[in-house]
Amino acid sequence: MCTSVLYRNGKYSYFGRNLDLQYKLGNDVTVCPRNYVLKFRHLEDMPVHSAIVGMALTGYGYPLFFEGVNEYGVGAASLNFPNYGQYNTELEEGKKNVTSFELIPYLLSSCRNLDDVRKELAEINLVADDFNEKVKSVPLHWICCDKKGSIVVERTATGLHVYENDLNVLANAPEYPAQAVNFANYLNLTAEYPENRIVPHLDVPFYSSGMGSDGLPGGLDSMSRFVRAAFMMNNSKAKETDAATLNQFFRIMQTVEQIDGANHEKDGFYEITNYTAGANLDTMDFYWTTYDNQQINAIHTKDLDLDQSELIIYPVGHEQNINWVR
């Protein structure tokens, strides 16, 4: 399971996600330069395109992106969508037939804003090809964004749906409209000091701060994480600086992290937050932490040679890096 947000703080916008799984993946921070040839199953190869940065599996000769941001500040992330996601098993003439694992690089290769993403999605037929014999097609849905806002993309048994995402949050199942309706159950929650509305003429002692958030769901299920992330992000206060916005982004993501041992899956494994990753949509700077190393790592993506034709890969380390003070 996973959680993704678009966090906006004044002129600063950060987009990213937690990737939650029962096991560690061999993912790398991956920069896809403009002249790396993007190959597609049912479309022509794309030899020139926008530069992309994100987390990806790269050991199979093609970047399998979990999320990414391009040089124009457009972002996309795929999240697990079990029991709901359903792709077309047939190619559709007159449509752009794109596989689930190609959708992120396809959209980020050319879109310069969210309107471009909407136009591309109107022409796409999302098909169910496996990545390879080992990596099978899995049900996913997507959050796509620019600095102004985000949308949710879901392919279900009833077709491809695009929803405006005013909350700028996405978790997992159920479908986004159900998540949004459930959020309405918590509209009474507040970050403000509580007010005695029942018996305002009585002096009732408040035993704790934070009582306005009493009832905020604390579970690790997707609906709880959706509500919690939306509450935290939309009540967030941070100085309008890049450093403060970056720090607050990671703080928000920590509120929906999963720790080892707290979520025992039916396969016998425990789901954990493998990594948290985020990008500044203006600068394309990319940041990440892992479960075993909470120190923020980063690259200045635009300082790299983005005109080369080979992937630029940074292996993700998992050893804890402690700043010992002497």
Instruction: Catalogue the active-site residues.
Output: 2
What are the E-state strand segments in 75-116? 75-80, 96-99
C-alpha distances in Å from residue 28, one per residue of 10, 71, 112, 228, 319: 31, 19, 25, 28, 15
Say how far apart CA 274 and CA 263 lie, in whole Å. 13
Q: At 116, is the secondary structure helix, strand, or coil?
A: helix
Interhelix angle 222-234/242-254, nearest 10 degrees? 150
**Is the link from the previous residue into 174 a cis peptide, with omega within 30 of 0?**
yes
